């Protein structure tokens, strides 16, 4: 065999090898892309629940915010003329302390951060800060848009406004430091209402839905759902407005409490995979 023939054969071998490597690379990229798309298209899982205990709840309370801390239950209520901040005895449902809002305010979500209670109003763009012990008003603050749900991550106020967006506010000057949008592979999750920070996640009621959505505070990814559709059936409610709304997490006792607007009961539940 001549040197030219040997060189030509070697070149063909090298060309075939690199073509094979290119084909394998393309195949790998396509495979990884398909896997990523399949993973993105997977719907977040839905958890079920078990009732641990139930407690009396003021049926006139249009619940907008719920917090449990240091053994105490706090509740924020809505409706003009009936809005308030309350300290409630868990076992009896008795109101132990109350701070009514002015009649032209519609109270919304509440949270407690560094011995201060923060409460939103719906369309007045006004936040109210109370002393945790006395309920005396310390100061007020302003924000843009509507106020719906409120929680905190230990550093920031975390609020919803009825859309899919969640804002993180600096509690010193109330400037927005971060925004996330709650979303699934199928799209945005709108009408986010009452919020609670639970084990590093944002849990939110969705207005008119008997579900809680679990949201990543990092990027807004929906991590899953909790279906509470059978907790207090709709056919037992007196109005379409009597929706699931109110999440309180007792981090010390690892207890979860939920209720709704004008519900006669507040429930302690355990949640998890079906």
Domain ranges of the chain: 1-42, 46-273
pLDDT at position 72, please?
A: 97
Which strands, in side-by-side order, build the sheet including 126-131? 107-113, 116-121, 126-131, 137-142
Is residue 263 helix, strand or coil? coil
| Angle (CA) 255 261 267, round 5° | 25
Q: Which fold has domain 46-273?
A: Methylamine Dehydrogenase; Chain H (2.130.10)
The parts of the chain modelled with pLDDT lower than 50 are 1, 3, 26, 29-30, 32-39
| CB contact burial 225-252 (16+ within 10 A = b; e otherwise) | bbbbeebbeeeebeeeebbbbbbbbbee
Q: Are 123 and 114 in contact (CB under 8 A)?
A: no
Structure confidence by residue, pLDDT tens digits, 145-183: 999 999 999 999 999 999 999 999 999 999 999 999 999
| Angle (CA) 146 196 145, round 5° | 10
Residue given tokens 């032209």 in the structure block: 104
Neighbours of 126 (CB within 10 A): 17
Strands 46-56 and 222-227: parallel
Is residue 127 helix, strand or coil? strand
Using only C-alpha atoms, the chain has a radius of gyration, in whole angstroms, of 26
Structure confidence by residue, pLDDT tens digits, 46-73: 999 999 999 999 999 999 999 999 999 9
The tokens describing 226, both together, are 């909790």
pLDDT at position 246, please?
A: 98
pLDDT at position 34, please?
A: 43
């Amino acid at each position: 065999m001549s040197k030219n023939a040997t060189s030509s054969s070697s070149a063909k071998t090298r060309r075939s090898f690199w073509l094979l490597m290119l084909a394998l690379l393309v195949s790998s990229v396509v495979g990884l892309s398909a896997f990523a798309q399949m993973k993105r298209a997977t719907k977040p899982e839905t958890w079920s629940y078990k009732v641990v205990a139930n407690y009396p709840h003021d049926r006139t309370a249009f619940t907008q915010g719920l917090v449990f801390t240091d053994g105490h239950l706090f509740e924020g209520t809505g409706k003009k003329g009936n809005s308030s901040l309350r300290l409630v005895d868990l076992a009896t449902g008795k109101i132990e302390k109350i701070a009514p809002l002015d009649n032209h305010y519609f109270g919304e979500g509440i949270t407690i951060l560094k011995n201060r209670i923060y409460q939103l109003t719906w369309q007045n763009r006004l936040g109210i800060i109370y002393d945790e012990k006395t309920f005396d008003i310390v100061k007020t603050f302003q924000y843009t848009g509507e106020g719906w749900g409120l929680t905190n991550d230990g550093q920031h106020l975390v609020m919803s406004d009825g859309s899919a967006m969640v804002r993180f506010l600096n509690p010193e000057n109330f400037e927005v430091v971060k925004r996330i949008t709650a979303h699934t592979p199928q799209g945005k999750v709108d009408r986010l209402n009452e919020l609670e920070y639970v084990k590093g996640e944002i849990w939110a009621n969705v207005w008119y839905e008997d579900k809680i959505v679990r949201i990543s505070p990092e990027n807004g990814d929906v991590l899953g759902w909790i279906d509470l559709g059978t907790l207090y059936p709709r056919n037992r409610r007196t109005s379409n407005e009597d929706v699931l709304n109110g999440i309180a997490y007792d981090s010390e006792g690892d207890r979860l409490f939920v209720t709704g607007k004008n519900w006669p009961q507040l429930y302690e539940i355990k949640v998890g995979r079906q």
